[in-house]
Amino acid sequence: MKAFEVFTDKGGKSVDMLGQVIFVKYFEDVIDPSLHVDITIADTNGLINKLPIRSGSVVKIHVEHPSQDDPLAMSLIVTNISGHIIDQKREVYTLTCETKGALSNHTNRVWKKYTGSIATTVSTIINEKIEGEIKSERLDLTSNELEFYGNYRRPFKLIGDLCRKAIPSTSGSSDIGSGGTAGYLFFETQDGYNFRSIDVIFKSDAKLEYMMTPFKKGLDVSNNFKLASSPAMTESHDIIKKLRSGAYSSSNWYYDVLTRKVLFENFKFNKNIELANDEDVTPTDFKEPYSRIILSTLDQGTTVKDAEGVKTNTPQRQAEYQAQASARYAAMFSQILDITVPMNLSLRAGQVIKVKFPDLNTGKPQDKNSPESGKYMIARLSHEFGNPEGDFTGLSLVRDSFTINE
């Protein structure tokens, strides 16, 4: 960490508190629209009251690391001060910091009418209400349009609602409204805001590859891409629980509040979801009959040109889309792998990486693919600086399928 400054309200003057930082934890999460940074400070000068440091104070951090060419430089706002301990020689406390958008979300409301592509609408809301920006590489285009009023909702809440209705644009498709599986993620990384399709993420190539192996050579560069500790795998093999939740097949009954009609949509996971890896874990004997009935409503708004949603520019098959989104979100977290790797600032939430595990009793990942090996998406990450044992990155990885053992 190269710099840590706290700005006071008096004339915008800053105080360098780098020497009093104990450790820093940086967090990203694909289901959280705001990143978080926890900075623990051992204050020997009583600056928390002399400056003073309060919620709303502006801080700037500057971190450099060989794993990334560009430094991690951010201007943040203190949103909470916790863990305040006082003794005779120092005060220890933790500053929880977030970007300005986290506060703007609570001070701005979306009220006007929006039309056109959902992806374009999300970009407009971020620019107008959050004063942020989504670059093209972090904005997956949508194949469907939506016409609606903001109804004075908070920006992040509204965008979260749009995530379930957005359909990614299929490359090379000429059919209006055609696309992949419904389900988007809206989150923030050190690069800015992201509006990404789950389908597009899992179809993308792995950025990096990490390996679990007991063989490590001193001063070997490849050690940076080997697990730093034993992984923890959380898999849901409970078939009763999955049948109860309709993970394999569900019958979705929707009441359309505009047309007052009841719509039925039978959704089968193995026929509607494209898996990231090779092996489909759907049980053969139980994947056809639906195991859950889901009751919900459809609200296509009162401004659509066609109440049926058929003669619009992009057909609004909301019954199908909502069923897809529900299954996609559930499948994404069906397998969770927690690993710790050497510090790597180039990693981002929402990236796809490959993890290789050795087959049992072989010790070498090259001998045979373990079913746990394969592509994973980074759902959550935490960079930790100042740990006495070294700087590490913790990753919580998710996927929807296994790799065939061959």
Give the type of residue at 328: R
Q: Cite the beta strand spans of 115-191 per DSSP E.
A: 148-149, 184-189
Under DSSP, is residue 69 helix (H, G, I), strand (E, B) or coil? strand
- Closest-CA residue to 21 (of 56, 63, 50): 63
Can you say whether the dihedral through the CA atoms of 71, 72, 74, 77 is positive or negative? negative
CA pair distance 178, 321, nearest whole angstrom: 11
- Closest-CA residue to 225 (of 348, 125, 331, 356): 356
pLDDT band at 228 (very low <50, low <70, confident <90, very high): confident
**Range in 114-128, 151-165, 182-196, 388-402 the model is least confident about:** 388-402
Most confident segment among 141-155, 163-177, 266-280: 141-155
- Rounded to an integer, the average pLDDT of 14-32 is 92
Pairing between β-strand 209-211 and β-strand 352-356 as defined by DSSP bridges: parallel
The pLDDT of residue 172: 39
> Residue 243 to residues 187, 238, 336, 401: CA-CA distances in angstroms?
30, 9, 19, 17
The pTM score is: 0.83
Pairing between β-strand 91-98 and β-strand 36-43 as defined by DSSP bridges: antiparallel
- Rounded to an integer, the average pLDDT of 28-44 is 93
The pLDDT of residue 388: 77
Q: What is the largest CA-CA distance in the chain?
A: 74
Residue 47 has pLDDT above 80, yes or no: yes
Under DSSP, is residue 269 helix (H, G, I), strand (E, B) or coil? helix
- Rounded to an integer, the average pLDDT of 296-324 is 62
Q: What residues have CB less than 8 Å from 372, skipping those under 6 apart?
A: 233, 337, 355, 357, 402, 403
Residue 151 — φ and ψ, nearest 5°?
55, 35
